Structure formats: structure tokens, C-alpha cells
Amino acid sequence: MKTQQLLLFLTFLISIQAAEYIKFEIEGEFAILTINRPKALNALNSEVLDELDKVLDSIDTYKIRALILTGAGEKSFVAGADIAEMSTLTKEQGKAFSKKGNDVFRKLETLEIPVIAAINGFALGGGCEIAMSCDIRICSENAIFGQPEVGLGITPGFGGTQRLARLVGPGMAKQMIFTGQNIKAEEALRIGLVNAVYPQNELLNEARKLALSIAKNGQNAVRNSKKAINDGLQLDIEKAIKIEEKLFGDCFQSDEQVDRMKKFLEKGKNKKQDKSKNLRESEEKKPEPENKEETKEKETTKN
């Protein structure tokens, strides 16, 4: 087991060191993955997608409990796929490029740990699509979202036609895709494309807080919850409930479940004991009621 962990760690180091466009930083129990191509507004070309694919493969999802995905700089999260690269593609090459992006985004979407997109600036085309592949999306006030592909004579190719409709509903998705018009952060919040909007200088710290609040919970429970939601969304409710039942059952008799329930019950028991103790102490501090005859004598003497 230790040998496997060492090999995984070495593979991870090699992947990170070899990456030109991906920056990966571990901060305790969560990590920050930055698409680092600011001069091109972090646009996705084949090289970026290949590097992202390798880094995702090398992440130890047992040591890292949550992942934050963001883009380098303040102007852009990911401005889209690289148009210069796409402009010369043939029909078959276009299909292959779409598959490459979809494979990587699906890998991100099905990563065992929760992924938080911290969207700073432009999230257009492939940028909006990679954000939608994350579990939770928060953005800065200057964020701009859109699927402008039809203006270039193509459809969204990295899952936009599918995930956008699932997130904001078919009507709104069709409006955004058919018109190619962009929307601002507040509109993205209103339609449910993002969970929250923050000032630019607070965005990453808010993402860190969110990652920490996830990391403190049962790791296996969080992973199973993510799987239950993702897998269940593709099925009718009867089949989806069966998935939940299995994953719920899988949590039991694990060290995590046993320890956490034991601590919860002990905490409740201690609270009851403390409450009883406080009640006894307050009763003991109460002055004893005076004898009625003594009280009457005092009142007569006083008069």
C-alpha cells in the first residue's frame, strides 16, 4: 500500500513539474488547480486539455478532500476554447477535439471529491462548460458567462448543450445558446448557473472557506453523496433511490461512521449531564423557604 502511495505521489510530482499551463497547489486538506495561460485569457487548446487530464489523473483523492478550480489573473476564468486552433480543423478533427474536451470535463465532473469553480472574469464557451462540470460554482462580480459558439458557426462542443439545460432549464439554455449572448454575474445567480457572487478580491478566500467546510465532514459520506446525486440525475426517481439506498448502506460499519456517530452520542450525553448538573447546582444555591411561624413572628416584631 505504501509503495502504491509513493508511486502515485511521484507520478503526481512529475505531472505537475511537466505542466506548463496548469498550476497545482495543496493547502492542507484541499487543493487549488489554476489554468495558467493568462496572456490567452486561459483559453483551452489541446496542450492545456492534455495537461489538465494528466493532473486530474494524478490527484490523490484520499489526501485531498476538495478541489478549487480557477483561472490565472483577474480578467478571465477561461475565455473559451482556442479559436486559432479550431479554425483549421477538419470535420473529423473537430469531432476528435470535442471528444478530447468532453473526456477531460467528464473526468473532472466524476472526480471522487467535490470540485468548486471559482470563476474570475470571462467564462465563455469552453470556460462556461468547464465551470458547469464542477459541483459548485461561485463567481466574482465581474464574471461574464456565455455560449457564443453559434456566432462562429459551430455548436457548443464540450458538453454545453447538455449541462446548461440540466442546470438552468431547456428554455433558458436554448436562449443563451441560440442567441450567443453573454450574461453577467447577477443574472447567472438568478437563473441558478452559479451559487453565489462575491467581490473579486474575496472570491478565492470564499472558495477556500467552502472547501474547508466540506473537508471537515465525513470523507466517505461526501464522496458517496456526490456519486448518488450525479448518478441519480440520469435516472428516474425509482432507480435513483436504489442508488441512494446502496450508497447509504455502504457508509455503515466504516471507521468514519462508527467514530463520528459515537462522538455525536457522547457529546449529546455530556450535554445532558452538564444540564442536570447545572440544574442541581442552581437548586442547591436557592435559599431554603422560611418557616411560616417564624415569618409571622418577624412580621409581628417588626410592627
**Which tens digit of pLDDT belongs to each residue from 71-100?**
999 999 999 999 999 999 999 999 999 999
Residues 34 and 117 in one domain: yes
Please, is 182 exposed, middle or buried when counting C-beta atoms within 10 Å of its C-beta (0-12, 13-18, 19+)? middle
Q: Give the pLDDT confidence score for residue 4 in this predicted structure.
A: 56
Burial 286-298 (b: 16+ CB within 10 A, else e): eeeeeeeeeeeee
String of DSSP letters for 238-258: HHHHHHHHHHHHHTTTSHHHH
In this structure, of 29-38, 109-118, 260-269, the range with the lowest mean pLDDT score is 260-269
Using CA atoms, how far apart are residues 53 and 130, in angstroms rounded to an integer?
13
Determine which helix (DSSP H) or strand (DSSP E) holds 106, and give its type and residue range. helix 91-109
In sign, the C-alpha dihedral spanning 73, 76, 80, 86 is negative
**pLDDT at 197 exceeding the cut of 80:** yes
35, 21 contact by CB (below 8 A): yes
242 and 204: one domain?
no
CB proximity list for 59: less than 8 A, separation 6 or greater: 12, 31, 67, 111, 113
**Beta carbons of 132 and 163 less than 8 angstroms apart:** yes
Cα 189 from Cα 198, distance rounded (Å):
11
Indicate the pLDDT class of residue 199, thresholds 50, 70 and 90.
very high
63 or 301, which is more confident: 63
Q: Which residues pair with 173 in a beta bridge?
A: none
pLDDT: which is higher, 233 or 14: 233
Give the pTM.
0.85
pLDDT tens for each residue of 161-178:
999 999 999 999 999 999
pLDDT at residue 16 greater than cutoff 60: no
Q: Which residue has the higher pLDDT, 155 or 302?
A: 155
Specify whether 128 is located in the same domain as 192.
yes
Both 43 and 79 in a single domain? yes
CATH code, 29: 3.90.226.10
Q: Which of 198, 215, 232 is the last residue of a domain?
A: 215
In a domain, 296, yes or no: no
Q: Which domain holds residue 230?
A: 219-250
Q: Which residues are catalytic?
A: 129, 149
What's the confidence (pLDDT) of residue 5?
54
Please give the grid coordinates belonging to residue 29.
486538506
Do both 194 and 229 map to the same domain?
A: no
pLDDT at 268: 78
**pLDDT averaged over every residue in the chain:** 90
Question: Region 220-232: what's the mean pLDDT?
Answer: 97
- Decide if 219 contacts 65 (C-beta within 8 A): yes
Whether 298 has a pLDDT exceeding 90, the answer reads no
Reported as a pLDDT band with limits 50, 70 and 90, residue 302 is low
Contact 52, 96 (CB under 8 A): no
Q: What pLDDT does 104 receive?
A: 98
**Which pLDDT belongs to residue 19?**
84
pLDDT score for 269: 79
Domain co-membership, 24 together with 118: yes
DSSP assignment letter at 151: G
pLDDT of residue 140: 98
In this structure, the answer to whether residues 124 and 52 fall within a common structural domain is yes
Same domain, 135 and 226: no
Total domains, the chain? 2
Residue 246 located in a structural domain: yes
Last residue of a domain, one of 170, 198, 215: 215
**Is the same domain home to 47 and 187?**
yes
First to last CA, the chain: 90
Residue at 280 is within a domain: no
